[in-house]
Chains A and B, each alone.
Chain A
């Protein structure tokens, strides 16, 4: 672990024009028996208050590991952060002591996990688990904490909240459980909310409700939100900007409407084309060929080249930098112009 420099917690209002959250060249690797797995290789992005960033990618792309690094909940070891910064309101979280990070976690940066059934403790009531935030962090009494828990459960629209306070997680439906997770996460009005595939485990109809709820809560509180997903369909209505990750790198970032209009990376293009569309009913669905890269044995050059229809010789040898297309847009493809022009392959 990194040594601690002065333990100054980031100020509430932030410093000058620093973004709410900024990742700078973040690297995360895991030491395993089979070798070093480089799960995140130089990821940078920023997030402002009231903004929603969608991080998109397949499993193994490093999107969840990045989020866990921000939260500081990676198991270290085996995980290591050899390089990079995570600046929260101007303060590098990686340089804080463990105690100081504990103060940030949950209170100022909160997280929602994918599978609420396993993410909630099975032996405590939901009321107990939500009110724990107030008891531990705000020193409230049990009774006051419970009252707060009811308020929160109402806020995330759990019917008959007061009666259900003493129920256990397994007694709720999947959607309701995810609402409880959300209630717990927003309990102390965090400035950043990270939602790691919040709807993957849910039915399609419930998915929409949960996304709507998240969007609404964000509007009310003006928090910054990082939405991690592998599902482009979820993103369109909620996100302001998108970062697409592949093999531990960001391969494209852009404002949401730009990316839907015309992707600038062949991987993004593949993802977009593999969304089922009503107007193309009957046609064969597009699928990106091949498999995600083996993190132990990354292909040389551009990690996507074995699967890329735009591949040229230099893709196999040269790692593409993140080319700047416009002030708000980057692509890590040597041939982003061709992709952007819609050259079909």
Chain B
């Protein structure tokens, strides 16, 4: 439509002015009363602070972070100490001191649920960082260089897209289960299978940015390849990568639970919500609580990150409002 009313403040007359003139003459065009920050990030932050969804997810994530680093703040019982479990009290319902009741081994469900946060958060965060860095850098390279580099890396990512991720992760963790890598095997397996997603998004964003005028201008002015890559392309392609990373974080936490549930993720005596669900499932119909509590924590954690990702995406991409 040629005639859509102009909502944005009309830019000031663009003439070639010297620097002094720009400084000396105050802008003649009055801006709307509520002056908004100019940059994408400033704008997004301004917008985020007013979104209840963002605030809620931020608070939830903050609580989860505290819980994973100082679980003893939330629970006086140490679930790693054998003395806290009594087989005789297995599957007992909630009682004072044991708010969530006891599980199949007679251990306190509440304490275990609290201590389970750490593995979920650590695995989620590290996997996200690794995939964002590896996938992001490779995507940046492929998008900037193009040609053979791009073709080869793109073909490789297609291979990974063809492998169902839970099954692939199952295989990788099973293969290395004798290596005693602890929870890191989950991080490795998920990273191997998930980096192509970040790669694809970064590459697409870089290719879009590459054809923009300011990049072409920088290239014409003789800027070096790496300068173009890191100073011009990266900042402009970062937004979608950050969005996908936040959303993926929730997905990785869910995937960790799934793998642990299948017995190839976090192994006992380490605590994981997925593992707790697996342990409780056989007696689930008679004693649902030991399964329900880790399940609720797991869902809330995933929800918090996905909500955060949603809010960030809406703020960075106002098109879909």
Does B associate with A?
A: yes
A82 at the interface (CB under 8 A from B): no
Q: Which positions 1-50 of chain B face chain A at CB distance < 8 Å? A: 1-3, 5-10, 13, 29-30, 32, 34
Q: Select A34's contact among B2, B3, B10, B32, beta carbons within 8 Å.
A: B32
For this complex, into which size category does the number of interface residues on chain A fall?
Answer: 20 to 34
Contacts of B5 in A (CB 8 A): 30, 32, 37, 39, 60, 65, 295
| Min distance, Cβ A113 to any Cβ of chain B, angstroms | 9
Quick one: CB contact mask for B255-272 with A, threshold 8 Å, 1 for yes? 000000000000000000
Chain B: CB-nearest residue to A295: B5
Quick one: CB contact mask for A288-325 with B, threshold 8 Å, 1 for yes? 00111111110000000000000000000000000000
Contacts of B13 in A (CB 8 A): 290-291
Question: Do the beta carbons of A34 and B7 come within 8 Å of each other?
Answer: yes
Question: Do the beta carbons of A297 and B6 come within 8 Å of each other?
Answer: no
| Min distance, Cβ A244 to any Cβ of chain B, angstroms | 15
Quick one: CB contact mask for A19-59 with B, threshold 8 Å, 1 for yes? 00000000000101111010100000000000000000001
Q: Select A296's contact among B1, B2, B3, B7, beta carbons within 8 Å.
A: B7
Contacts of A293 in B (CB 8 A): 10
Contacts of B30 in A (CB 8 A): 297
| Min distance, Cβ B35 to any Cβ of chain A, angstroms | 11
Question: Do the beta carbons of A37 and B2 come within 8 Å of each other?
Answer: no
A114 at the interface (CB under 8 A from B): yes
Question: Do the beta carbons of A64 and B2 come within 8 Å of each other?
Answer: yes
| Min distance, Cβ A343 to any Cβ of chain B, angstroms | 26
For this complex, into which size category does the number of interface residues on chain B fall?
Answer: 10 to 19
Chain A: CB-nearest residue to B5: A37
A62 at the interface (CB under 8 A from B): yes
Q: Is the interface of A mostly helix, strand, loop or mixed?
A: loop
| Min distance, Cβ A116 to any Cβ of chain B, angstroms | 14
Question: Do the beta carbons of B7 and A32 come within 8 Å of each other?
Answer: yes
Question: Do the beta carbons of A295 and B3 come within 8 Å of each other?
Answer: no
| Min distance, Cβ B30 to any Cβ of chain A, angstroms | 6
Chain B: CB-nearest residue to A28: B5
Question: Do the beta carbons of B10 and A291 come within 8 Å of each other?
Answer: yes
Given known contacts A296-B32, A297-B32, A197 and B2 CB-to-CB distance under 8 angstroms: yes
Question: Do the beta carbons of B2 and A294 come within 8 Å of each other?
Answer: no
A200 at the interface (CB under 8 A from B): yes
A63 at the interface (CB under 8 A from B): yes
Q: Select B3's contact among A33, A59, A291, A297, beta carbons within 8 Å.
A: A59
Contacts of A37 in B (CB 8 A): 5-7
Chain B CB within 10 Å, residue with most, of A32, A39, A61, A297: A297
Bound Cα distance A65, B3 (Å): 7
Chain A CB within 10 Å, residue with most, of B5, B30, B32, B34: B5
Bound Cα distance A294, B7 (Å): 8
Chain A: CB-nearest residue to B14: A291
Bound Cα distance A60, B7 (Å): 10
Question: Do the beta carbons of B3 and A294 come within 8 Å of each other?
Answer: no
A-B contacts, 29 of them at CB < 8 A, read A30-B5, A33-B7, A34-B7, A34-B8, A34-B32, A37-B5, A37-B6, A39-B3, A59-B3, A60-B5, A60-B6, A61-B3, A64-B2, A65-B3, A65-B5, A114-B2, A197-B2, A200-B2, A291-B10, A291-B13, A292-B10, A294-B9, A294-B29, A295-B5, A295-B6, A296-B6, A296-B7, A296-B9, A297-B32
Other A-B pairs beyond A39-B3, A64-B1, A296-B6, 12, CB < 8 Å: A30-B5, A59-B2, A59-B3, A60-B6, A64-B2, A197-B2, A230-B2, A292-B6, A293-B10, A294-B10, A294-B29, A296-B9
Chain A interface (Cβ within 8 Å of chain B)?
A: 30, 32-35, 37, 39, 59-65, 114, 196-197, 200, 230, 290-297
The 6 A-B residue pairs with the shortest CB-CB distance in the complex, in nearest-first order: A64-B3, A37-B5, A294-B10, A39-B5, A295-B5, A59-B2
